[in-house]
Structure 1
Amino acid sequence: MKRTEWKVGGTLVACLLTIFALALPANVKAQSGTASIHGHVNNPAGQALNSGDVKLTTDRTSQTNDRKYAYTFAIDANGDYKGSGIAPGNYVVVVFQGAKSIDFNDNVNLAANDDKVVNFDMSRAEYVAKMTPEERKQLEEYKKKNAEVMAANSQIKNLNAELIQARADTKAGNFDEAIKLMQNATTAKPDEPILWIALGDAQLGSADAAAKAARAAGTPSTDPSIQQKYGDAAASYKKGIDLNAASKKPSVETAAVAYNQLGQAYGKQGDAKNASDAYESAAKAQPASAGMYYYNEAATFYNAGKLDEAAAAADKAIAVDPNRADTYFIKGQALIPKATVDPKTQKIVPPPGCVEAYQKYLALAPDGPHAADVKGILQGIGQTIESSYKAGRKKK
């Protein structure tokens, strides 16, 4: 009896195991055989739709907004979306922005293990044709404006690259290349002050190089061709200054830099009045840097051999920045040629302020690059170097 029961029981167990084994693959396959979907969404202008959702439903019995959506996948900033774990079926796939449906595909078959690409391009002709006349008008206006913006951005990108290259060429002494680049740039965008100022820098560098070559050859730097180069630079700086002043948001820094450079161009042309006015304008534009601009004025006049103007500019620089040593050196150098000889004593009589300027230079820069020259001048005109300056500063 026990043996018979064992056989019956064993047969039943074996049958159940067989049935379970046959059923198991089908059950596992049904549970794991889901689908995936991904794609890209463009708006009617042909640009990536950077927000919204893609929703899937098999419900076709009601209005789009009233349907129940089994799956929702977000559209990212690049216009892409993706989703997985979707039960096989035939779906309506709808693009939403907020609560509004804006595009759809009503026949997307997803089989088990599918990874289907479903893109939406709302710039397609049939989509645009269904837009209202007002919507199409707005779309065309947007596309036109966008094309203009993209063209402007492309131009700005190119001009920035040319500006960087021109500045590098000017710094390297490749003035002709820099001038050509900036002439092209100012032709392409004549209302940009920075481009004109960069052109002026290249022209000023070219003029300086020509003047240096003339001096080396023993010819005068007042040659008309050289003066024309300085004139071209001045004209470019003035153009940049005027455009900056007329802009919606004038740049104080741009104005100051341009006026400073304009002062150099005028000064090297020998136009003392306009040079002084330009440096004065630079100082007014940026009062915190007035000492530097007045110093530059003094240096420009001194290098141009205009000593009276150099001394006057040095006084202005000292008044706002009394601790710049080189300003005192320029003042002393500008005054020393006015020294006279006392007919009774035959001693050299320096002009007022000259010795004091030299002594102040030594006070501020006892080991400066001009210290030895200054001491030699003072000794040469019979002046005693003040003991506190003579030994220089002790190194710590």
Structure 2
Amino acid sequence: MTKRIAFFIVLAMMMTFSISAIAQTTSIIGSCKDENGKPIVGATVEVKNIETGKVYTLKTNSKGEYLSMGVTPGHYDLTLIGTNGAVLSFRNNVPVQLKEDNIFNMDMRSTKEQRKANDKPRSGSEKIKELNALLNQAATQKKEGRYHDAVATMEQAAALDQTHDLVYYSLGDAYLLDKRYPEAETAFKKAIELAPTGSKSVGAYHNGLAQALSKQGKAEVALAEYEKAAQLDPPNAGTYFFNEGAVLTNMGKADEANQAFDKAIAADPTRPDPYFQKGVNLLGKATLGKDGKMVPVPGTAEALNKYLQLAPDGRNAQTAKDLLTAMGAPIQTTYGSPKKGKK
């Protein structure tokens, strides 16, 4: 009897786990209508997960309806494509939740009205005012960590105006924060294309492009973009060279990375992070002496101590102190005389 009870307990647990696993997916449904309100038959509905990039490709039935089960919850972009390959309608950043009523209708009548609204003539001042409002709204959304919303806001701004580089830079930044790296790359390239000659912002655009490229594993192209950023925007070259050094470090090219960190230090000697990263890279070259103690290469302790002098309470301060202690090197800060590390 006891064995039988135990069997049913295990079975119940297995069923619970199975139900839990099934509950991690949901379904979406919707109807598609043309500008006259008639069903769109045989069209394609692409449902793209913004976070993962996964695409569900669906077809509308004789009633213009589409359905997909087993969809992972998240935020999605929906695109309605006609039988001739033309985009008929779209809905961006829609939330798919663990519920039964994820209904997203695609109605070309509303799309037509939206296009009319976007095409409605505006005075220059009205458009600038609206763009500034959208830029400020997106900036707030980014600050609050609402990256999906920031993307939607800046896509709206880009639909309103395709001539301002700042719009595409902010859009690229939103895509980057939302981990939509290919879209970020495209937006930053558009910002660079639209930037007026001599723009002081173009360095930041190249830096953004470099970050998007790096996130896609295009390291060599990203490095070239960081170099361009530094050349075009000398006042902020320290940031760009530091980012370049970080990419090189991740590539396992410590020597080249430290050359970039040296350039970052030369561009901005008051920036602490390049000293820390350089010290860490140099520490990787340390050897063990005959007595079993660590023998760091020249410049290691100096780089870590310089970081502590510039950022005694920085996020890497304790790590720098621990590394110096492990090396048996003195710890130097701006708060007094050197303290000998423990051996």
The two structures have a TM-score, normalised by structure 2, of: 0.56
Per-residue deviation, residues 341-383 of structure 1 (Å, max 9, x unmatched): 34x33232324432221132234344544333222212212x3
Distance 2:257 2:163 in 1: 35
Whether the aligned pair in 2 keeps the contact of 1:252 and 1:286 (CA below 8 Å) is no
SS across alignment from 1:346: coil
- Alignment-derived partner of residue 277 in structure 2: 330
| Cα 1:328/1:341, change in 2 over 3 Å | same
Q: 1:349 aligns with which of 276, 289, 295?
A: 295
In structure 1, the gaps of 5 or more residues are: 1-147, 208-228
Distance 1:391 1:191 in 2: 50
* 1:22-37 alignment runs, 5 A limit: none
Per-residue deviation, residues 91-122 of structure 1 (Å, max 9, x unmatched): xxxxxxxxxxxxxxxxxxxxxxxxxxxxxxxx
- Alignment-derived partner of residue 235 in structure 1: 186
* 1:76-115 alignment runs, 5 A limit: none
Identity %: 38
Whether the aligned pair in 1 keeps the contact of 2:311 and 2:317 (CA below 8 Å) is yes
Whether the aligned pair in 2 keeps the contact of 1:268 and 1:300 (CA below 8 Å) is no
Whether the aligned pair in 2 keeps the contact of 1:307 and 1:335 (CA below 8 Å) is no
* 1:32-47 alignment runs, 5 A limit: none
In structure 2, the gaps of 5 or more residues are: 1-119, 338-343
Per-residue deviation, residues 259-292 of structure 1 (Å, max 9, x unmatched): 2222222233333322222222222222122223
Deviation of 1:305 after TM superposition, in Å, equals: 6.7
- Alignment-derived partner of residue 316 in structure 1: 263
- Give the root-mean-square deviation of aligned CA atoms: 2.8
Whether the aligned pair in 2 keeps the contact of 1:237 and 1:261 (CA below 8 Å) is yes
Distance 1:171 1:390 in 2: 33
Distance 1:192 1:353 in 2: 46
Q: Number of matched residues?
A: 217
Distance 1:335 1:306 in 2: 13
Distance 2:246 2:143 in 1: 20
- Alignment-derived partner of residue 254 in structure 1: 201
* 1:207-286 alignment runs, 5 A limit: 207=179, 229-244=180-195, 247=196, 250=197, 252-286=199-233
Report the AA paired with residue 392 of structure 1: Y
Q: Which has the larger radius of gyration?
A: 1
SS across alignment from 1:191: coil
Q: Which segments of structure 1 move beyond 6 Å, counting only runs of 4 or more?
A: none
Distance 1:251 1:199 in 2: 22
Q: 1:175 aligns with which of 120, 128, 147?
A: 147
Distance 1:357 1:337 in 2: 13
The two structures have a TM-score, normalised by structure 1, of: 0.49
Whether the aligned pair in 1 keeps the contact of 2:245 and 2:258 (CA below 8 Å) is yes
- Is 1:380 the counterpart of 2:326? The answer is yes
Distance 2:232 2:177 in 1: 24
